[in-house]
């Protein structure tokens, strides 16, 4: 009905995910005095007076971030929460609250949503987080989960990407690459299954990496450990795309070179 005023068509793939976000929000100047940190870190920081509130949003889209042919729905709910909490811990904060938005097509029955929410409630219990809001909507196809996590960061404890400096030590928690290896196993067994549905998936012996992929945990323990040791990290980042990619983010934000 309406002609587009904008006949130019640049494919999103030309910019890539990070390029795209940079491009779209580069004009977002902040105006409020309590916006302590906006776009560009694991979470934003809002100044509440005697502490900060960290806030972060992530989307998980069917067919892009997860494949329901091998991801159990309860695990999916659990993981959706955990990946968001991880962004709060990556600011050296304590995650406290989440809101959940789920869009589903009518191919999902109520029981499927119940399984997802079982995982969400379980993650909330394990991480001592309250579910405080949400929205459920119809979608025309597929499943999409959007979670926003908020948490408390004490003033002076915040660990931004920009904080890294000379002679700092890079420390990695967990086993980088484990989740990726788990994904390879699942994708391999999916191909075997598609070619011969009578074959049973061979998952034995791979429990550890499968769990890293299907039911990862966020490193709340690291925040507690650092606090217990009275260690203030200069900088922190949540690893999601791999060590080299995250080191580049830290380097760009802090203006520091890294040796690995």
User: Which element (helix H / strand E) includes 222?
Assistant: helix 220-228
Cα separation, 228 vs 222, whole angstroms: 10
247-252: list long-range contacts, CB under 8 Å, 24+ apart: 247/170, 249/161, 250/161, 250/164, 251/164
Scan residues 21-80 and list those touching its own copies (CB under 8 A): 21, 23-25, 27-28, 30-32, 34-35, 37-39, 43-44, 46, 48-51, 53, 55-65, 69-70, 72
Exactly one of 88, 93, 96, 159 binds its own copies (CB under 8 A); that residue is: 96
Q: In the bound complex, what is the minimum distance in angstroms from residue 144's beta carbon to its own copies?
A: 6
Coil, helix or strand for 144? strand
Question: What number of residues does the chain have?
Answer: 260
SS3 12: helix
Of 76, 81, 91, 104, which lies in the binding site for its own copies, with binding defined by CB under 8 A? 104
Closer residue to its own copies in complex, CB, 110/169: 110
Q: Is 228 helix (H, G, I), strand (E, B) or coil?
A: helix
Query: Under a CB-based contact definition with an 8 Å cutoff, are residues 128 and 119 in contact?
Result: no
C-alpha to C-alpha distance for 155 and 170, rounded to whole angstroms: 23
CA pair distance 89, 42, nearest whole angstrom: 9
Compose the 3-22 pattern: x for residues touching its own copies by CB under 8 A, - for all others. Answer: ---x-xxxxxxxx-x--xx-
Considering only 88, 91, 126, 138, the residue that binds its own copies (CB under 8 A) is 138
Pick between residue 175 and residue 202 the one whose CB is nearest to its own copies: 202
Distance of closest approach, residue 153 Cβ to its own copies, in angstroms:
12
End-to-end, the C-alpha distance of the chain in Å comes to 56
Task: Name residues contacting its own copies, limited to 175-194 (CB under 8 A).
Answer: 189-190, 193
Answer for which of 66, 78, 89, 108 binds its own copies (CB under 8 A) is 108
- The residue range among 112-120, 163-171, 220-228, 242-250 that interacts with its own copies, by the rule CB under 8 A, is 112-120
In angstroms, what is the minimal distance from the CB of 145 to its own copies? 9
């Amino acid at each position: 009905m309406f002609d587009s005023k904008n006949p130019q068509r640049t494919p999103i793939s030309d910019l890539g995910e990070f390029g795209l976000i940079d491009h779209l929000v580069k004009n977002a100047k902040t105006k409020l005095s309590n916006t302590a940190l906006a776009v560009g870190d694991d979470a934003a920081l809002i100044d509440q007076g005697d502490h900060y509130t960290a806030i972060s949003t992530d989307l998980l889209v069917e067919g892009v971030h997860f494949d329901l042919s091998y991801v159990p729905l309860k695990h999916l709910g659990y993981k959706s929460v955990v990946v968001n909490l991880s962004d709060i811990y990556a600011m050296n904060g304590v995650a406290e609250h989440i809101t959940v938005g789920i869009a589903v097509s009518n191919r999902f029955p109520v029981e499927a949503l119940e399984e997802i929410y079982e995982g969400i409630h379980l993650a909330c219990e394990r991480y001592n987080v309250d579910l405080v809001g949400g929205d459920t909507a119809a979608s025309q196809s597929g499943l999409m989960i959007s979670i926003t996590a908020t948490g408390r960061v004490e003033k002076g404890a915040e660990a931004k990407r920009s904080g890294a400096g000379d002679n700092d030590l890079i420390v990695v928690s967990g086993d980088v690459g484990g989740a990726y290896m788990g994904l390879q196993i699942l994708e391999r067994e999916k191909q075997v299954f598609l070619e011969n549905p009578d074959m049973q998936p061979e998952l034995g012996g791979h429990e550890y990496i499968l769990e890293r992929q299907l039911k990862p945990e966020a490193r709340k323990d690291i925040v507690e450990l650092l606090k217990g040791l009275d260690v203030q990290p200069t900088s922190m980042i949540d690893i999601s795309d791999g060590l080299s990619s995250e080191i580049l983010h830290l380097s760009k934000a802090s203006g520091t070179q890294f040796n690995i």
